[in-house]
């Protein structure tokens, strides 16, 4: 386990310097006096935000940043990565590049890549990818579209190309989702530097592709580009200059996320994602480090919904054991949380200063955002290619809450009252 400390000033200073170097002069932060007479870094007024969102975020920075004259531990901000800081999914970009360049190694048994993989999925993968390639050697996915299709379809939908369930069994649906956990497991046998090199190559390709570009992966058509959101890069840099410790908390593979997070000035120590257990030779295994007393798991606990809270509590605030799964007192909670999907709803909701949500029409998190129970939710359309308004209303009162046992139920406020259905008004 890497040592992560909310008061790690040296790492934060280096991060801030890198972030500053990555921002164009036009977006460089200015400072404005606060009511106390001190100056706080300001968000760029050249980058558009929805409505009054920039002013609301600036108010939180002015009030909670160390520039306001507060003493004690530095305030913390935490962001999801995919479709929160970047447009499109960097994990999918890495998988796509790896499949196009024959970087997936044939496992000894597909069944052993995930504890929940079904017999149907095992048979489908074996039939599609064959057994001619020696175990541990690269599968020819650049040419074998059947193998590529089967792997990507399971990752994307949790189903085989024929429509059969790829995963079955019991898991806590607020702690993990098997197809997310399966991604780093697909890279078993590779070293972390190898996976980082694939992510870096995919990053170069995705940033070079024009906005709106697509790519073919077998018979699948998927986004072919990724972009850093300028507004989020500016927000992160401004937070760092205002004295915040800024983290990324992602349900992706940690080496992949780290390659991308450097582009917004966030270092390895401030990037939290699925952390694979390595073997004695430094190769990725199908196991990952756990949280909240779970120990090593095969995907049972990852940074997913309640798992993101657990990793923040454990890695940032040093809370160990089962307590890491629980909502903490105000002094041990982040000031700002940013996300875009239900996988982010718990940690974003834990924030004490602002809950920033990019609208991707996801039920649970948008119900929380529109209900705005504490008046601190900040909903914003996606900065690139925003979605049209959701037809009808979000089913908050009946089917927005992701139940631990699976399925959906009514979403409740802290006082036990039911969140009413909400219209989609920020898009």
Percent of the chain residues past pLDDT 90, beyond the cut: 89
Give, in degrees to the nearest 5, the angle at Cα 323 between 320 and 327. Answer: 125
Decide: 256 and 91 in contact? Cβ < 8 Å: yes
Task: To the nearest 10°, report the CA torsion of 97, 286, 123, 175.
Answer: -90
Percent of the chain residues past pLDDT 70, beyond the cut: 91
Decide: 371 and 364 in contact? Cβ < 8 Å: no
Angle between helices 178-186 and 145-157 (to 10 degrees): 140
Kindly report, residue by residue over 74-120, the tens digit of the pLDDT. 999 999 999 999 999 999 999 999 999 999 999 999 999 999 999 99
Determine the length of the chain: 427
Kindly report, residue by residue over 61-83, the tens digit of the pLDDT. 999 999 888 778 999 999 999 99
What pTM, to 2 d.p., does this model score?
0.91
Could you give the domains of the chain? 9-88+228-423 (3.40.50.1000), 90-223 (no CATH)
Q: What is the pLDDT of residue 27?
A: 43
Least confident of 35-39, 174-178, 291-295: 35-39
Confidence of residue 37 (pLDDT cuts 50, 70, 90): low
């Amino acid at each position: 386990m890497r040592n992560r400390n909310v008061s790690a000033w040296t790492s934060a200073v280096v991060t801030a310097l890198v972030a500053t170097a990555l921002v164009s002069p036009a977006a460089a932060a200015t400072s404005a006096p606060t009511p106390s007479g001190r100056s706080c870094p300001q968000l760029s007024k050249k980058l558009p935000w929805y409505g009054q969102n920039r002013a609301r975020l600036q108010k939180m920075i002015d009030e909670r940043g160390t520039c306001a004259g507060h003493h004690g531990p530095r305030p913390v901000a935490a962001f999801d990565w995919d479709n929160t800081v970047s447009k499109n999914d960097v994990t999918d970009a890495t998988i796509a590049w790896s499949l196009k360049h024959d970087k997936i190694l044939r496992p000894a048994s597909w069944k052993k890549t995930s504890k929940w993989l079904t017999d149907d999925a095992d048979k489908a993968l074996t039939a599609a990818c064959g057994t001619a390639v020696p175990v541990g050697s690269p599968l020819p996915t650049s040419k074998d579209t059947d193998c590529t299709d089967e792997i990507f379809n399971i990752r994307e939908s949790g189903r085989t190309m024929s429509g059969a369930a790829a995963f079955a069994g019991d898991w806590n649906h607020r702690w993990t989702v098997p197809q997310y956990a399966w991604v780093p497991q697909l890279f078993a046998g590779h070293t972390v530097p190898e996976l980082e090199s694939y992510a870096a190559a995919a990053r170069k390709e995705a940033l070079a592709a024009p906005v709106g570009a697509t790519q073919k992966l077998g018979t699948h058509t998927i986004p072919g580009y990724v972009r850093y959101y300028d507004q989020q890069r500016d927000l992160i840099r401004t937070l760092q200059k205002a004295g915040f410790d800024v983290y990324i908390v992602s349900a992706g593979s940690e080496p992949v996320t780290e390659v991308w997070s450097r582009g917004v000035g966030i270092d390895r120590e401030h990037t939290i994602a699925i952390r694979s257990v390595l073997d004695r030779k430094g190769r990725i295994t199908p196991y990952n480090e756990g949280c909240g007393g779970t120990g090593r798991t095969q995907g049972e606990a990852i940074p997913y919904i309640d798992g993101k809270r657990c990793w923040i509590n454990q890695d940032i605030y040093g809370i160990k054991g089962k307590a890491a799964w629980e909502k903490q007192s105000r002094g041990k909670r982040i000031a700002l949380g940013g996300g875009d999907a239900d996988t982010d709803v718990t940690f974003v909701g834990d924030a004490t200063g602002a809950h920033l949500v990019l609208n991707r029409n996801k039920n649970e998190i948008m119900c929380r955002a529109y209900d705005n129970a504490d008046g601190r939710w900040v909903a914003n359309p996606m900065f690139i290619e925003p979605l049209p308004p959701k037809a009808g209303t979000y089913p908050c009162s009946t089917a927005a809450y992701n139940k631990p046992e699976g399925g959906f139920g009514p979403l409740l406020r802290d006082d036990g009252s039911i969140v009413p259905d909400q219209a989609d008004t920020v898009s």
